[in-house]
């Protein structure tokens, strides 16, 4: 069943060089329970697409449906229960504590007076524990490292209990251990709760391990999409990123590992 349907999406803006950048998505669907990675060169429109789906910016023209309903017909408070968004920016203008940041994820569920319930507090604690930042709960969000703050904002998204989570480079600022642990957690939630995931990432190996669907973007358009074994190939990596690579398959072809050769020569593996 299609969870997210995008048709005839158009958005444009002037970039730093005063050139007009245009995002155009003719037809793109995400099925319920998919773990999708959105790949492409810097500046191709990946982050812009996530912001449009999260309703942070409004396209010039589009038909975007969530579970068959046009997203413009869904109240913002209800949409926040369906879709959570984690941006690359992990800085807060205000000195909120980590606990307060994560509790913001429960805002769509709070009553008129805005008081959280015991269930809200339990969900927040669970999210803090999942991101391994319970010990930071009383710290100011701007007093901790970039990687720790990133985990706090992902915890806030998890506290929303969404059906779809949008992550713009969720492994940015994170060390290798926490990059893997966050993708493992998202993968487990994807399997256990049918959480749908759209993630922008430049780490081809994390994508090759955890994603099941991949979409390549170039110049504001999705030019390739499909199962990762069909799309994440040496030929496509060369076409999109202009680098040579060697692709390995493991675990019954469910896991893909990629070696990038900086010398633009094919690797010979004995």
pLDDT above 70: residue 20: yes
pLDDT of the residue at 270? 46
Contact partners, residue 207, CB within 8 Å, separation at least 6: 37, 39, 199, 201, 214, 228, 232
Q: What does the block give as tokens for 84?
A: 């959570």
55 or 147, which is more confident: 55
In a domain, 172, yes or no: no
| Whether the Cβ atoms of residue 198 and residue 6 lie closer than 8 Å to each other | no
Q: Which of 166, 169, 144, 145 is nearest to 156 (CA)?
A: 166
pLDDT above 80: residue 35: yes
In a domain, 30, yes or no: no
Give the domain range for residue 141.
90-159
For 57-79, write each residue's pLDDT tens digit: 998 888 999 999 999 999 999 99
pLDDT above 80: residue 187: yes
Global pTM exceeds 0.75: yes
Q: Across all residues in the chain, what is the average pLDDT? A: 90
Spell 170-197 as b/e; 16+ CB within 10 A means b: bbbbbeeebbbbbbeebbebbeeeebbb
15 or 184, which is more confident: 184
Q: What does the block give as tokens for 125?
A: 């604690």
pLDDT, mean of residues 216-225: 95
* Dihedral sign from CA coordinates of 199, 204, 206, 211: positive
For 124-156, write each residue's pLDDT tens digit: 999 999 999 999 999 999 999 888 999 999 999
pLDDT above 70: residue 266: no
pLDDT, mean of residues 32-41: 95
Q: Which of 181, 190, 122 is nearest to 150 (CA)?
A: 181
In a domain, 257, yes or no: no
pLDDT, mean of residues 240-257: 88
In a domain, 51, yes or no: no
In a domain, 36, yes or no: no
Q: Which long-range contacts does 172-175 make (Cβ < 8 Å, 24+ apart)?
A: 172/88, 172/146, 173/90, 173/145, 173/146, 173/147, 173/149, 174/147, 174/150, 175/147
pLDDT, mean of residues 98-126: 92
Length of the chain: 270
pLDDT above 70: residue 263: no
pLDDT, mean of residues 219-227: 95
pLDDT of the residue at 254? 81
Rounded distance between C-alpha atoms, residue 230 and residue 160, angstroms: 33
In a domain, 139, yes or no: yes
pLDDT of the residue at 251? 76
In a domain, 121, yes or no: yes
* Tally of domains in the chain: 1
pLDDT of the residue at 17? 59
In a domain, 61, yes or no: no
Using alpha carbons, list the distances in angstroms from residue 118 to 46, 71, 86, 106, 125: 38, 31, 25, 12, 11
Task: Output helix, strand, coil percentages for the chain, rounded to the nearest 5.
Answer: 35, 30, 35
């Amino acid at each position: 069943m299609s969870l997210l349907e995008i048709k005839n999406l158009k958005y444009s803006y002037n970039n730093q060089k005063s050139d007009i950048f245009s995002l155009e998505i003719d037809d793109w669907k995400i099925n319920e329970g998919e773990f999708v990675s959105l790949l492409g060169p810097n500046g191709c429109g990946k982050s812009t697409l996530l912001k449009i789906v999260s309703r942070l910016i409004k396209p010039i023209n589009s038909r975007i449906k969530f579970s068959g309903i046009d997203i413009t017909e869904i109240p913002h408070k209800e949409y926040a229960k369906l879709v959570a968004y984690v941006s690359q920016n992990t800085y807060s203008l205000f000195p909120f504590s980590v606990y307060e940041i994560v509790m913001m994820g429960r805002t769509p569920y709070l009553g008129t007076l805005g008081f959280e319930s015991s269930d809200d507090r339990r969900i927040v604690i669970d999210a803090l524990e999942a991101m391994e930042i319970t010990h930071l709960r009383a710290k100011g969000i701007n007093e901790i490292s970039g990687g720790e703050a990133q985990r706090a904002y992902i915890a806030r998204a998890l506290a929303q209990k969404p059906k779809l989570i949008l992550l713009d480079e969720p492994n940015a600022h994170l060390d290798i251990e926490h990059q893997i642990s966050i993708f493992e957690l998202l993968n487990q939630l994807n399997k256990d709760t049918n959480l749908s995931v759209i993630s922008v990432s430049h780490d081809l190996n994390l994508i090759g391990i955890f994603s099941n669907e991949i979409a390549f973007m170039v110049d504001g358009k999705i030019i390739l999409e499909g199962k990762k074994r069909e799309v994440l190939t040496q030929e496509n990596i060369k076409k999109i990123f202009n680098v040579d690579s060697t692709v390995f398959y493991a675990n019954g072809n469910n896991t893909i590992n990629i070696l990038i050769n900086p010398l633009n020569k094919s690797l010979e593996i004995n």
